[in-house]
Amino acid sequence: MGATEKRVPRSGPTTIAEALGDYGQQHFPCSTPPRAIALEAALQVIAQFCDDVLPGLLDPVSRHRFERRGAADEAPRDRLEAALLGRALASCARLLPYHVVAGSGVLESFHAEAPRIVRWLARRGVIPAADARAFDVGWSDACVLLGRHVRLQRQIEAELGNALALFDGNVVEGHFLIERSEPRGLWVNGGTKTRGPVRVPDACREILVPGREVSLAFCRVVSGWLLVGSALPVPEGGLEGVGRFDAPASGPPAGPAPGEA
């Protein structure tokens, strides 16, 4: 089920799925076609993060509420409370550059839309005021990483040029260890076998260096493989604690932000 499909209302606090659906339903009708495409891409990235990553970041209180709500076979976004989204999106912004392989347009759409979603939910009292303020602080820090991720992907796309028209859809995507770098490209290992050479733009070689782990997407070409997308390499110390957030903020939900109706 897509991030913006209408869902049957349920009792209890608003879920992330419901909040994202409500946001999409309000904003799609007044969006230009390019904005609608960007909005859908951003909502899909957020929904995927909430399903795949967010449950592992929860504090004990939030995890208990999550596990008690709904059926275990439901998608996490259908069980997680929307009040978590302020902290969740700041965490997503810090982790997304290391996990997600996507086009620069999708990354830019997330960058533009996430703050709008938080402000919209805060005005409606769904996100606590303290969490909305904490998002602003965390977001400013995360924007540095998001910017690096977008620039890396733009460099890759600039190198591809018209080669995109030749792709047959046979793309390998996963998490790899960069084993070595040669003039012809990188040799990478996803845990079962080494593939290479993966041709990469010269501008990316100072980022994609041997010994680092990174999520990549590449396709088969005559001379080996061609890089089509990359996340940022995982820091040498790993990602432990990078996206984790504290227990929910206390106090009543947020009212309208100053100067906003």
C-alpha 208/C-alpha 231 separation (Å) is 10
Are residues 32 and 86 part of one domain? yes
Are residues 122 and 86 part of one domain? yes
- pTM exceeds cut of 0.85: no
Are residues 36 and 151 part of one domain? yes
Q: What is the CATH number of the domain that holds 173?
A: 2.40.50.140
Are residues 143 and 124 part of one domain? yes
- Asked if the model's pLDDT at residue 249 lies above 50, the reply is no
- Asked if the model's pLDDT at residue 257 lies above 50, the reply is no
Are residues 34 and 127 part of one domain? yes
Are residues 178 and 134 part of one domain? no
Are residues 177 and 59 part of one domain? no
Q: What confidence score (pLDDT) does residue 9 get? A: 52
Are residues 183 and 74 part of one domain? no
Picking from 13-17, 86-90, 162-166, 250-254, which range would have the lowest pLDDT averaged per residue? 250-254
What's the mean per-residue pLDDT of the chain?
A: 82
Higher-confidence position of 161 and 213: 213
- Asked if the model's pLDDT at residue 251 lies above 70, the reply is no
Q: What confidence score (pLDDT) does residue 221 get? A: 78
What residue type is assigned to position 175 of the chain?
H
Which domain range does residue 226 map to?
A: 167-230
Domain boundary among the residues 127, 158, 189 is at 158
- Asked if the model's pLDDT at residue 180 lies above 90, the reply is yes
The stretch 135-156 carries a mean pLDDT of 88
> 104 lies in a domain?
yes
Q: Which residues contact 67 (CB under 8 A, 6 or more apart)?
A: none
Condensed to tens digits (0 to 9), the pLDDT of residues 182-220 reads 998 999 999 988 999 999 988 899 899 999 999 999 988
The stretch 213-235 carries a mean pLDDT of 88
- Provide the percentage of residues in the chain whose pLDDT is more than 70: 84
Total tally of structural domains belonging to the chain: 2
Q: What confidence score (pLDDT) does residue 248 get? A: 45
Q: What confidence score (pLDDT) does residue 258 get? A: 29
Condensed to tens digits (0 to 9), the pLDDT of residues 91-104 reads 888 888 998 888 89
> 5 lies in a domain?
no
Condensed to tens digits (0 to 9), the pLDDT of residues 55-98 reads 888 888 888 888 888 777 889 999 999 988 888 888 888 888 99
The stretch 127-144 carries a mean pLDDT of 85
Q: What confidence score (pLDDT) does residue 49 get? A: 87
Q: Which residues contact 76 (CB under 8 A, 6 or more apart)?
A: 50, 51, 54, 55, 66
Condensed to tens digits (0 to 9), the pLDDT of residues 8-35 reads 455 678 899 999 999 999 999 989 998 8
Long-range contact list for 69-76, CB < 8 A, 24+ apart? 69/12, 75/1, 75/17, 75/51, 76/50, 76/51
Are residues 120 and 207 part of one domain? no
Are residues 145 and 60 part of one domain? yes
C-alpha 218/C-alpha 12 separation (Å) is 44
